Amino acid sequence: MFDQLRNRFGSGLAVGIILMIVIWLIGMVILPQVLMIDYSFRPNLLPAELGGPKDHYSLINYQTLFNNKIHLSIFFKTIWSSVSVTMLTLLVCYPLAFYLAKVATPRQAAMCMLLLIIPFWINEILRTFSWYIILAYKGPLNALLQALGLIERPIRFLNGNGGVMIGMVYAYILFMVFPIYNGIESLDSNQIKAARNLGAGWIRTHWRVVIPHAKPGIATGCIMTFMLAAGSYAVPALLGSPGSRWFTQIIYNWFFEGGNWNQGAAYAFLLLLICIGFIALVMRIFKVGLGDIAR
């Protein structure tokens, strides 16, 4: 990496770039995580008790989660729901990415990408709140369905996880579609034509030709979508009902409402471990390495 930067920018600028990257990684990524881990193993004490006999490492903050059945159920529900959001987003984005990469003309692809990107010029909170209006009990979606005669009475889309799922799929669609598009776009179209000429149907062609080539892009999209979904706060807070709380909301409450940073750090660290485990699982399933994902 350094040799490539040196050949392109010169030794001085290459050293500066590498130094900025190292400072950013240490100051913004590594140190905050180390502090969070340290907090998670310490009890929540008064300032006068810090450094005293009670200030020692223990697993009490982690035991709190496993002893609290409500928080534990929300934790597992958040993980399962995040996996569901990832799968739904993949189902929506794969056909779209293939269309953009291999079917659409350059003009059509540019128009579709523009239509995808323009809504994301608006703040995430406003985009999520727009879905709150659309999915409301007396919102435009229910009015349209009633006008078409598809339903007799309004549906409570925001009662449960339905609204959260819809909002998250929409919120993170770009993080799935562009990695898959990049993976499919580099595939030689002649390979698809050859498979079709040899008698393979579209499903078999995708399964044996397109998907194997696009595995790094699919893995990247799944990882990014899962991480964003598992760590989301705004979407479940706006579109979720009281019975569909997200684990991030509990972490937020520990930090900013309960004032217990140690307990919140333990919850956050467990969520981080699950996310790391998901990354390893996806890489194993798709048989890709970090180099493939980083392309």
> pLDDT tens digits, residue range 20-49?
888 988 888 889 889 899 989 988 877 777
- For residues 205 and 96, the answer to whether their CB atoms sit within 8 Å is no
HSE at residue 133, side-chain half, CA atoms within 13 A, is: 6
* Percentage of the chain lying above the pLDDT 70 cut: 94
d(CA 92, CA 136): 23
pLDDT at 295 over 90: no
Q: Residues 288, 292, 294, 295: what is their CA dihedral angle, to the nearest 10 degrees?
A: -150
Residue 123, judged by CB atoms within 10 A of its CB (0-12, 13-18, 19+), counts as: exposed
Domains of the chain: 62-293 (1.10.3720.10)
Residues 229-288: pLDDT tens digits? 999 988 888 888 777 788 999 999 998 888 888 999 999 999 999 999 998 998 888 887
Average pLDDT over residues 55-80: 90
Nearest CA-CA partner of 246 in 76, 66, 78, 69 = 78
Confidence bin at 96 (pLDDT 50/70/90): very high
Q: What is the pLDDT of residue 291?
A: 67
pLDDT at 92 over 70: yes
Residue 284 tokens, joined: 């194993």
- For residues 249 and 236, the answer to whether their CB atoms sit within 8 Å is yes
Nearest CA-CA partner of 168 in 214, 115, 120, 235 = 235
State whether residue 92 is helix, strand or coil: helix
Q: What is the pLDDT of residue 149?
A: 85
Give the mean pLDDT of the chain.
87
Q: What is the pLDDT of residue 10?
A: 67
Average pLDDT over residues 86-91: 95
CB atoms closer than 10 angstroms to residue 134? 16
Confidence bin at 56 (pLDDT 50/70/90): confident
Q: What is the pLDDT of residue 294?
A: 60
Residues 152-187: pLDDT tens digits? 888 888 887 888 888 999 999 999 999 999 999 989
d(CA 169, CA 183): 20
